[in-house]
Structure 1
Amino acid sequence: MNKLLIVVDMQNDFIDGTLGTQEAEHIVHKVVAKITEYEMAGRTIIFTMDTHSDDYPVTSEGKKLPVTHCIKDTPGWQISDAITTSIDLSKYKIYEKNTFGSSELARDLLNGLYDTATSIEIIGLCTDICVISNAMLVKTMLPEIPITVDASCCAGVTPNSHQNALEAMKMCHIEVKNNK
C-alpha cells in the first residue's frame, strides 16, 4: 500500500506567529509523530507552504485578511523547527503557494506524479482555509483515491470553523478521522 501524506502549511506564522492559535500549537507534536511514522515506513510525504511577498497587503487576499503573514524568507514563513529538526526536509517536495490551494500540486496530481498512491492523508493548518482547499483539489484531481484528513493533526482559525470545515469535507466524501 502506497500512502501519500500531504502536510499543509505547518509554518511558524500559523502556529505561534501573526495568525497562530493555541490549537495550532497543540497539534505540532502530533504532526511530527505522523510525519515520522510515514518517514519510517518509507512512504511519500509532500509539504505545502503559504508563500507571500511584500506586496501582500495589496493582493486580493491581503485586502480580505489584512494580517501580513508567511512573507518568503522570514521566520514566520519557515516550517516549524519541531518538524525541521525531526526530518531532513530536503528529501521532500515542497509546494510554495500564494493562495489557499496549490495549483502546482493539482497539476502534478493531474499529470500523474502521484499515480502510485493508493490513499492520501492530509494534515496541517488551517483546517478551514488551506487544508480544505487542498483536500478539495486532491479530490477533484484523484476522485477514486481514498482521501483522509486526520482532524487531530489539524487546527482551524477557530475551533468552530475547524469543525465546520471537517463537516464540509465529509460531505465531499473525504474521510475525517480523529486519532487522539
Structure 2
Amino acid sequence: MRVLAVIDMQKDFIDGVLGTKEAAAIVPSVMKKIEEYRQRGDMVIFTRDTHHEDYLDTREGRKLPVPHCIEGSEGWKIWPDIDTEGSLIIDKPSFGSPELAALLQKKNRQEPLEGIELIGLCTDICVISNAIMIKNSLPETEVSVDPLCCAGVMPETHHNALKAMSMCQIDIKSKGEEK
C-alpha cells in the first residue's frame, strides 16, 4: 500500500490571510492526485494546521503575527472542492505532526508500506517538516514529494525546500513522473 499525505490544503493558505496565487494554482493537481490514490485503493491522510484564539501569544504567533487556521474558522477548513470523505484528518498545532509519523510507523509495522508521498502547503514550512519527520521515522521506506502538487510561501523558498528535502534522501518527483 502507498500513502498520500495531503498537508494543510486549507482556505487560509489558498485564498485566505496567507493565501498565494501559487497555492490556488495547485488545487486541481492536488484533487487529481487524491483521486488517483483512491482509485488504486491506497490510503489518503490529511493534515490540518490548527491554532486557537491565543495564537498571537504563542511562539509561532510572535514570529508570524498573522492569525490563521483558527480552529472552527472558515480559514481552518480544508478547501471545499477537496473531498476528505473516508480519510483521516490529523489536526496539528505546529509545522510537523508527530501523530502522522507515529501513525505511519504503526501502519508500516502492520503491513510494510510501498511508499509515502507528500503534497500540499506550504512546501517550505509544513511539507518539509512532515517529510523529514516521516523520513526519520521510516528510513527504509520511500518518501517522496510531488513539486507540482506543492506551493511555498514564495517560489524561491519552494525551490529551496525541494533542494533541502532532496539532500535528505526524500525523492522529488520529476514533471510527468508517475508512481
**TM-score between the two structures when normalised by the length of structure 2:** 0.94
The yes-or-no answer on 1:56 pairing with 2:34 is no
Whole-angstrom CA distance in 2 between matches of 1:56 and 1:143? 34
Match of 1:23 in 2: 22
Whole-angstrom CA distance in 2 between matches of 1:114 and 1:128? 26
Match of 1:76 in 2: 75
Whole-angstrom CA distance in 2 between matches of 1:21 and 1:157? 7
Deviation at 1:93, TM superposition (A): 1.0
Match of 1:92 in 2: 87
Match of 2:159 in 1: 163
Match of 2:42 in 1: 43
Whole-angstrom CA distance in 2 between matches of 1:114 and 1:48? 19
Question: Given the alignment, which residue of 114, 120, 143 partners 2:116?
Answer: 120
Deviation at 1:114, TM superposition (A): 3.9
Whole-angstrom CA distance in 1 between matches of 2:70 and 2:172? 31
User: Residue type matched to 2:77 in 1?
Assistant: Q
Whole-angstrom CA distance in 1 between matches of 2:104 and 2:36? 23
Whole-angstrom CA distance in 2 between matches of 1:113 and 1:37? 20
Whole-angstrom CA distance in 2 between matches of 1:109 and 1:38? 16
Match of 1:146 in 2: 142
SS of 2:147 mapped into structure 1: strand
Q: Which runs of 5+ in 1 are unaligned?
A: none
Deviation at 1:55, TM superposition (A): 0.3
1:77-123 CA deviation, whole Å, 9 max, x = no partner? 0000110xxx3x2411111000000121122234x234431111100
Whole-angstrom CA distance in 2 between matches of 1:171 and 1:164? 11
The yes-or-no answer on 1:108 pairing with 2:103 is yes
Q: Which runs of 5+ in 2 are unaligned?
A: none
Match of 2:133 in 1: 137
SS of 2:22 mapped into structure 1: helix
SS of 1:80 mapped into structure 2: coil
CA RMSD of aligned residues (A): 1.1
SS of 1:91 mapped into structure 2: coil
CA contact (8 A) 1:29 1:82 kept: no
Whole-angstrom CA distance in 2 between matches of 1:47 and 1:114? 18
Whole-angstrom CA distance in 1 between matches of 2:8 and 2:70? 13
Moved over 4 A (4+): none
